[in-house]
Amino acid sequence: MSVAQNGEAVLSGDLARAVIDPHGYAEWTGLLDTFDHIRSTTPVAKVQPDTPGLFDPFWLVTRYDDVMRISKDNATFLNNPRPVVFSFNQAIEFSRAATGSNMLVDSLVVFDAPIHPKYRKLTQEWFMPRNLAQLEDELRALAARTVDRMLEQGPEVDFVKEVSGPYPLRVVMQILGVPPEDEFRMQMLTQQLFGGQDKDLSGSGMDQMTPEQVVQIVAGAVKTFEDYFAGIAEDRRKNPTDDVASVIANALVDGHPLPPRDMAGYYIIVATAGHDTTSASTAGAMQALANDPEQWARVKADRSLLPGIVEEAIRWTSPVQHFMRTAAEDVELGGQHIRKGDWLMINYVAANHDPAQFSDPRRFDAARSPNRHLAFGAGAHQCLGLHLARLEMKILFEALLDRIESVEPAGEAKRASSTFVGGLKTLPLRVTAA
């Protein structure tokens, strides 16, 4: 940390690199140590690039209360015009040249009022518990099939490959009308979109990629998604069903259908936001329980802990690691003067491990109460799919607790190298059927 002449808390050098380097995000303990250090010394600090022009400086916000305040004040902290996900300047320029916009995808998260509430309203009801109840039987059958298949492969399995990956993927693809034979392609595309910085997930096999290489992988994935969902939308206009794909295809805003780019963005955010996130939370919780046989036995014996497991899984893993905001006006935050137009990173990993809000934050505690985590965000953009995520995870954990007697680690688990959506990409476990 250094303090600039104008009194600004500035992060540069190693600390700044730790915040923006995707490889650092593959090392969870080191990452939490970094955020603990930054939060306790400079809870609101300006991250500066070593190389001028590499990225625009931004304010890193690590305290729970500050992240909550920003998330809820959607008039002062906007999701536009600066990118809503941390991006290098080269990537932003590429996006502008390709699409005329700072972001490759214009989805729900990049809009502010007055457009955002109108777009959000289109599918809000669909994602409410009352409507989701109709999915429960199907989810139960899918969860049982997935866990049974894993046990047939056992006793040693990669839990991400067999369970936490495929289960939420099928759920989201089903609500979007994507047939099972196209699922694998959709998963690859999502991983390229979110894990463009990871050599395995991006499919590039390259450890160090330039921002341009990353952005080309991401842009290719976006284009393929757009073409694919244009086909689905056309079909749902002709043959509407009760899925969310039909709601988006036939939606009217101020009497007009969604413009093609916005419609593609809507499909893409539902397709992508819904599975790697849920997968990461589920895998993280299984890892924690595999490392803690006593807690596994306790949750197996007491199903009233189920909602607690789900909530703690989501807090403890915080798979969406950050979002960015743009200040609409000058504002004071954590003793720092934020200027109109400044860029801010609200860091959910740091906020959800803030000891001022959570006692012993690194401990996975299925009985944690209260657990008012920020992993789904807050305010106008709070996760649209949070009820779905909770429901599918609860049903999956029911099946896991019913069918597995004991579980233990069976090798090294690996996390994705990604600053945006992160979590386990492999989790070797030894499972014994009940």
Q: Which residue from 40, 379, 402, 432 is in contact with ligand HEM, where contact means CB under 6 A? A: 379
Which residue lies nearer to ligand HEM by CB, 277 or 336?
Answer: 277
Q: Are 136 and 404 in contact (CB under 8 A)?
A: no
Which of 95, 191, 281, 336: binder of ligand HEM (CB under 6 A)? 281
Which amino acid, one-letter code, is at 45?
A
Would you say 211 or 385 has its CB closer to ligand HEM?
A: 385
Per CB under 6 A, which region of 154-162, 189-197, 229-237, 377-385 contacts ligand HEM?
Answer: 377-385
Considering the rule CB under 6 A, would residue 319 count as an interface residue with ligand HEM? yes
Q: How many residues bind ligand HEM (CB under 6 A)?
A: 29
Task: Using the minimum distance from each CB to ligand HEM, give the nearer residue, 42 or 347.
Answer: 347
Among positions 157, 286, 320, 344, the unique one binding ligand HEM when judged by CB under 6 A: 320
209/314 with CB nearer ligand HEM: 314
Hey, which residues between 59 and 88 contact ligand HEM (CB under 6 A)?
Answer: 71
- With contacts defined by CB under 6 A, name the span among 197-205, 214-222, 235-243, 385-393 that binds ligand HEM: 385-393
384 binds ligand HEM (CB under 6 A): yes
299 binds ligand HEM (CB under 6 A): no
Residue of 19, 109, 178, 258 interacting with ligand HEM (CB under 6 A):
109
Q: Does 389 bind ligand HEM (CB under 6 A)?
A: yes
Q: Which of 381, 399, 417, 431 binds ligand HEM (CB under 6 A)?
A: 381
What is the longest distance spanned by two Cα atoms in the chain? 64
**Residue for token pair 């920020």:** 374
Interacting stretch for ligand HEM, rule CB under 6 A, among 21-29, 233-241, 275-283, 402-410?
275-283
Question: Contact, 419 vs 332, CB < 8 A?
Answer: no
CB of 393 to ligand HEM, least distance (A): 7
Q: Judged by CB under 6 A, does residue 382 bind ligand HEM?
A: yes
Least Å distance, CB 343 to ligand HEM, is 15
What is the nearest approach in angstroms of ligand HEM to the Cβ of residue 35? Answer: 16
Q: Is 284 among the residues that bind ligand HEM (CB under 6 A)?
A: no
Identity of residue 317:
T
Q: Which stretch binds ligand HEM (CB under 6 A): 5-13, 206-214, 224-232, 381-389?
A: 381-389
Question: Which residues neighbour 249 within 8 Å (Cβ) at sequence distance 6 or greater?
Answer: 232, 233, 234, 236, 237, 240, 263
Position 270 contacts ligand HEM (CB under 6 A): yes
Least distance to ligand HEM, CB of residue 260, Å: 18
Phi/psi for 340 (5° steps) reads: -50, 130
When asked if residue 385 is in the footprint of ligand HEM (CB under 6 A), the reply is yes
- Does 38 help bind ligand HEM (rule: CB under 6 A)? no
Non-local CB neighbours of 304 within 8 Å, separated by 6+ positions: none
φ and ψ at 128, to 5 degrees?
-85, 155
Contact pick of 70, 305, 375, 413 for ligand HEM (by CB under 6 A): 375
* Pairwise CA distance, residues 327 & 81, whole Å: 10
The smaller minimum CB distance to ligand HEM, of residues 15 and 82, is found at 82
Judged by CB under 6 A, the stretch of 52-60, 255-263, 351-359, 369-377 that binds ligand HEM is: 369-377
Determine contact, residues 80/324, Cβ cutoff 8 Å.
Answer: no
Is position 139 an interface residue for ligand HEM (rule: CB under 6 A)? Answer: no
Q: Which of 269, 283, 333, 399 binds ligand HEM (CB under 6 A)?
A: 269
Residues that bind ligand HEM in the complex, under the rule CB under 6 A: 71, 108-109, 120, 172, 269-270, 273-274, 277-278, 281, 314, 319-320, 323, 348, 375-379, 381-385, 388-389
